[in-house]
């Protein structure tokens, strides 16, 4: 026996997985259900495509199975490919839409405004630092909760400023400062 079944299936030129269910029935006949699944298609409508079903004896199915499934399977394959292509084009259209562009532009402007606010606060802290107003410089720094991406930089600057107005009493490297007696008049 030399069957060319898989060669004929390959000639169908379909995209996806071909699922065959073969169920024997009474009288030496079979019910064959053929379904094409294409997992690359993201459209949920693909799930309502019913399987193609044939009924016949072994001899009848041997003689005409491929001829009977060729057109329906190629049609389903093309439909699934078109569905996926449509979904990709739909996504591309959405991204290019003016609403989406406005949203992207708005997000960009918000980000730029946020960055500007951060840099202005840092410049203000620098100005206070130059005037040796370390408490004011510490206060002028942006909050780490508002700028988590700069938290390390902000904390380092806070520590630098805090050393000038709130020395660490437990740090052995610092020398105690002499306390000047208050002059009473």
Q: What is the pLDDT of residues 35-84, one digit of tens each?
A: 999 888 888 888 888 999 999 998 989 888 989 999 989 888 888 888 88
Q: Is the pLDDT at 30 greater than 90, yes or no?
A: yes
User: Quick one: pLDDT at residue 173?
Assistant: 54
Q: Is the pLDDT at 118 greater than 60, yes or no?
A: yes
User: pLDDT higher for 1 or 122?
Assistant: 122
User: Quick one: pLDDT at residue 180?
Assistant: 45
Give dist(CA 168, CA 185) in Å, integer. Answer: 33
pLDDT band of 130, cuts 50, 70, 90: very high
Give dist(CA 183, CA 185) in Å, integer. Answer: 6
Q: How far is CA 9 from the centre of its chain?
A: 37
Q: What is the DSSP letter of 45?
A: G
User: Quick one: pLDDT at residue 1?
Assistant: 45
Residues 6+ apart with CB under 8 A from 28: 57, 58
Looking at beta carbons, which pairs linking 87-96 to residues 24 or more positions away fall under 8 Å? Answer: 87/41, 87/42, 87/43
Could you tell me if 51 and 34 are in contact, meaning their C-beta atoms sit under 8 angstroms apart? Answer: yes
What is the average per-residue pLDDT within 99-106? 80
Scan for tokens 């078109």, then name that residue.
82
pLDDT band of 176, cuts 50, 70, 90: very low
Domain ranges of the chain: 5-96, 109-165
User: Quick one: pLDDT at residue 21?
Assistant: 94
Residues 6+ apart with CB under 8 A from 157: 122, 125, 137, 141
Give dist(CA 163, CA 167) in Å, integer. Answer: 5
pTM score above 0.75: no
Task: Tokens for 150, please give them.
Answer: 């700069």
pLDDT band of 161, cuts 50, 70, 90: confident
User: pLDDT higher for 124 or 98?
Assistant: 124
Residue 63 has φ and ψ, to the nearest 5°, of -80, -35
User: Average per-residue pLDDT in the chain?
Assistant: 84
């Amino acid at each position: 026996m030399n069957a060319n079944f898989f060669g004929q299936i390959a000639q169908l030129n379909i995209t996806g997985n071909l699922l065959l269910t073969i169920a024997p029935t009474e009288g030496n006949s079979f019910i064959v259900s053929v379904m094409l699944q294409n997992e690359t298609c993201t459209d949920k409508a693909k799930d309502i495509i019913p399987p193609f079903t044939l009924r016949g004896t072994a001899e009848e199915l041997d003689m005409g199975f491929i001829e009977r499934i060729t057109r329906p399977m190629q049609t389903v394959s093309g439909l699934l490919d078109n569905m996926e292509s449509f979904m990709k084009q739909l996504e591309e259209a959405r991204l290019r839409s003016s609403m989406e562009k406005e949203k992207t532009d708005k997000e960009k402007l918000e980000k730029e405004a946020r960055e500007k606010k951060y840099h202005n606060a840092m410049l203000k802290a620098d100005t206070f630092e130059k005037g040796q107003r370390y408490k004011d410089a510490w206060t002028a720094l942006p909050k780490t909760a508002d700028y988590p991406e700069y938290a390390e930089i902000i904390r380092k600057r806070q520590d630098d400023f805090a050393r000038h107005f709130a020395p660490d009493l437990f740090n052995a490297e610092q020398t105690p400062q002499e306390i000047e007696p208050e002059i009473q008049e």
